[in-house]
């Protein structure tokens, strides 16, 4: 049987010492399997962002184990963690993080350049990713010519282009109005359902979390709820 895609084993992340010690995570354990759609929630300071940063290889545990496909990530050096981040993880952020003077196609190509993908291949991959998110015909538009929802679709296409094992979405609808938010969530839901894409998403909105299949809630550095999401009516 294949190991979980993502596994935390008694993970702790502490900052500071003595009276200034902050237990951002304090003995957290869970598994996330390929093909899941997980929403992570919790109040400010609950540990949800710290957990996401560890999953994304942007931080490492103080103690415990983080395993990615059975590989002990916390033991990797900075270069190896950067390679894992580049080849296995796709990131979607609240603020889109698009380059203003680059076209949609060029923005999607950017991570493929860092991976050393030849120009013709990366252009084809970027076009295919834009097609998946419903932006065929908009390849030459720069961000100023796109709506907020379309910019987030470009960001999702950029995350998809490299063929990641998991998409990490940090408040992906935070800068969108309600209608565009639900459009983006239906897109992520379709990518999870139709293509088996694993999605791990941080959100503070119940109606956005409802698109996921599983809900994990953090409180004061602990995982306090981990349960299936009730199907939307």
Instruction: Please write the tens of the pLDDT for every residue from 158-180.
Output: 999 989 999 999 999 989 999 99
CA-wise closest residue to 215 among 28, 37, 24: 37
How far apart, in whole angstroms, are the C-alpha atoms of residue 62 and residue 16? Answer: 11
| CB 43 within 8 Å of CB 217 | no
Q: Set out the domains of the chain in order of their start, with CATH numbers.
A: 33-49+85-228 (3.40.50.300)
Q: Which two tokens stand for residue 19?
A: 């009276």
Q: Which H or E element spans position 31?
A: strand 22-32
Q: Tens digit of pLDDT for each residue in 123-162?
A: 999 999 999 999 999 999 999 999 999 999 999 999 999 8
Residue 34 pLDDT > 60, yes or no?
A: yes
Q: Does the predicted TM-score (pTM) go above 0.75?
A: yes
Query: DSSP characters for 74-136?
Result: GGS-HHHHHHHHHHHEEEEETT----TTS-HHHHHHHHHHHTT--HHHHHHHHHHHHHHTT-T
Q: Which residue stretches of 115-204 are H helix? A: 119-132, 148-161, 178-195
Assign 3-state DSSP to the chain and report helix, strand, coil percentages, each to 5.
40, 25, 35
**Closest CA relative to residue 196, chosen from 171, 233, 163, 154:** 163
């Amino acid at each position: 049987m294949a190991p979980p895609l993502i596994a935390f084993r008694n993970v702790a992340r502490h900052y500071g010492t003595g009276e200034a010690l902050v237990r951002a995570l304090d003995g957290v354990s869970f598994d996330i399997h390929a093909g899941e759609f997980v929403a992570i929630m919790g109040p400010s300071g609950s540990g949800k962002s710290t957990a996401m940063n560890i999953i994304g290889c942007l931080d490492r545990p103080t103690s415990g184990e983080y395993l990615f496909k059975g590989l002990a990530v916390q033991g990797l050096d900075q270069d190896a963690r950067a390679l894992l981040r580049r080849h296995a993880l796709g990131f979607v952020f609240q603020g889109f993080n698009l380059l203003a003077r680059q076209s949609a196609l060029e923005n999607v190509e950017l991570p493929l350049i860092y991976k050393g993908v030849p120009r013709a291949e990366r252009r084809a991959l970027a076009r295919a990713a834009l097609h998946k998110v419903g932006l065929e015909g908009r390849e030459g538009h720069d961000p100023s010519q796109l709506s907020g929802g379309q910019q987030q679709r470009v960001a999702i296409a950029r995350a998809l282009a490299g063929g990641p094992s998991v998409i990490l979405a940090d408040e992906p609808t935070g800068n969108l109005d309600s209608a565009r938010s639900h459009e983006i969530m239906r897109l992520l839901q379709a990518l999870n359902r139709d293509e088996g894409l694993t999605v791990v998403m941080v959100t503070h909105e119940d109606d956005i979390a409802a698109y996921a299949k599983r809900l994990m809630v953090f409180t004061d550095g602990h995982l306090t709820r981990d349960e299936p999401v009730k199907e939307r009516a």
